[in-house]
Amino acid sequence: MSDLTTQQPYADLNPDTVLDALEAAGFVVDGRLLALNSFENRVYQVGVDDGPPVIAKFYRPARWSDEAIAEEHAFCRELAEHEIPVVAPLELPGGGTLARHAGYRFAVFPRRGGRAPELDRSDTLEWIGRFMGRIHALGAVKPYLHRPTLDIASFGDEPAAYVLDGGFVPPELEKVYRGVVAQALDSVRAAFERAGEVTRIRTHGDCHVGNMLWVDGQGPHFVDFDDSRMAPAIQDLWMLLSGDRADRARQLGDVLAGYEEFCDFDLRELHLIEALRTLRLIHHSGWIARRWQDPAFPAAFPWFDTPRYWEARILELREQIAVMDEAPLWLAPGMR
């Protein structure tokens, strides 16, 4: 992935451009347009004359190659063909799933209704676990060739260096942040060493509650595979866990009860839960920093360039360092 090539990558993406793009792709639009909440890409609900509205996603320029987007689309469609409830891109009237218009690349998805799943319910977690097991069973069949792997370098070392070298951390906090993030990354490396050689598979990559739609009687629908990459299976499971240690252990048991009906889980990956959480925290700050020239980001994250933000990140990382020294969440027989 490369940095942005322009400071305002969506400056020319206005409502007329969006509607013209859908028309050029073969849809008969009716003029209704609703911008949806998205920062990395631009996403719109678009009304069409001959059916329900569709969702159009305009990809951030220069982020993914065409080949990487094609792999994401192929994986989603493969999952859908196996009756796994993912929201896959539509085959466009002109063929293919990726289109271009006015310098932008976009895909079109069916609109799915639903609500956030209730992750405090054991039956909900087990249901999600069953589908996640099916996703991973298929994800393990072959690797991505053009999409990245979640690793310490790209999710930890590089974003940490970017915010420090770019002067995003206030001068009075820079030395403290530099030391804490270095210590946190050392703990992450130690956690990966304890886990050993775990298998990387095709994953959703960002499977938090906001990327699932719950439909009564149907269960979860998984959306937005934009961050899909090669990663340990636990990357798609740890974000389902919340609360204190006892709560998270119970939730993990519920998820794995469903998951292992379809896919074996390597218990060594439990060493990685807090390490992956730490990498996500470091990566998130780097993500905002890399997008800071996009006008949408200062508006959405006005606190990012304040001392309070970085003080909170320092405290957060110190807490993670302590947690990574603890035993895995669910210590199984034979684990160390």
* Distance (Å) of CA 24 to CA 20, 36, 66, 94, 269: 6, 21, 19, 9, 46
Residue 194: φ, ψ to 5°: -65, -35
Instruction: State yes or no: is 224 an active-site residue.
Output: yes
**Per-residue pLDDT of the chain in tens (336 residues, 90 and over written 9):** 334 344 578 988 999 999 999 999 999 999 999 999 899 999 999 999 988 999 999 999 999 999 999 999 999 999 999 999 999 999 998 889 999 999 999 999 999 989 999 999 999 999 999 999 999 999 999 999 999 999 999 999 999 999 999 999 999 999 999 999 999 999 999 999 999 999 999 999 999 999 999 999 899 999 999 999 999 999 999 999 999 999 999 999 999 999 999 999 999 999 999 999 999 999 999 999 999 999 999 999 999 989 999 999 999 999 999 999 999 987 655 554
Strands lying side by side in the sheet with 51-58: 29-35, 42-48, 51-58, 104-110, 99-101
Q: What pLDDT, in 10s, does the model give residues 257-279?
A: 999 999 999 999 999 999 999 99
Residue 57: name the closest of 227, 291, 203 by CA.
227
Which distant-in-sequence residues (6+ apart) come within 8 Å of 76 by Cβ?
Answer: 86, 87, 88, 89, 225
Max alpha carbon distance in the chain (Å)? 61
DSSP single-letter state for residue 195: H
Residue 96 corresponds to which tokens in the numbers above? Answer: 């293919």
Q: Which of 49, 157, 224, 325 is catalytic?
A: 224
Give CA 66 to chain center in angstroms: 19
Q: Which of 20, 30, 49, 206 is catalytic?
A: 206
Q: How far apart are CA 44 and CA 38, in angstroms?
A: 9
Contact 222, 211 (CB under 8 A): yes
Predicted pLDDT of residue 333: 54
| The model's pTM | 0.93
Instruction: State yes or no: is 49 an active-site residue.
Output: no
E strands, 60-128, are 99-101, 104-110
